[in-house]
Amino acid sequence: MDMVTAAGVLGDFKLISGDVKDILVNVLPPIGGAAFVLWTWGNTKSPLKTLLACVFAGAIWWGITNMSILRDKTGEDLNRDARTAVVVVVQPAAGGESP
């Protein structure tokens, strides 16, 4: 396999993996959420439980679609907390002994 073919295969793999990621993020969560809501309605026939299942499915879908925002926000919060951390240095006692 020559280098041009290898580069083409890698490029195709990147395109395919991007398509798979789009399918996993944009197609499967709404289908799975709708199936979960319908399953809940079919098993319970309760409007309240079905409404809660709809809210739960929507929250999961929102979390999946906003994962990069949540990840970046968490990283910013952790880095900010690490930069402002206070380090306390304990000095040995006057006699040279440790406390």
99 located within any domain = no
Total domain count, the chain: 1
**Position 60 confidence tier, pLDDT thresholds 50, 70, 90:** very high
Find all residues with CB under 8 Å of 63, minimum gap 6, and list them: 70
Please tell me the pTM assigned to this model.
0.56
56 located within any domain = yes
User: 60 near 77, Cβ under 8 Å?
Assistant: no
5 located within any domain = no
Q: pLDDT digit string (tens) for 10-46?
A: 777 777 887 888 888 888 889 999 999 999 999 999 9
| Domain range for 57 | 25-66
Q: Report the percent of the chain where pLDDT is more than 70.
A: 68
85 located within any domain = no
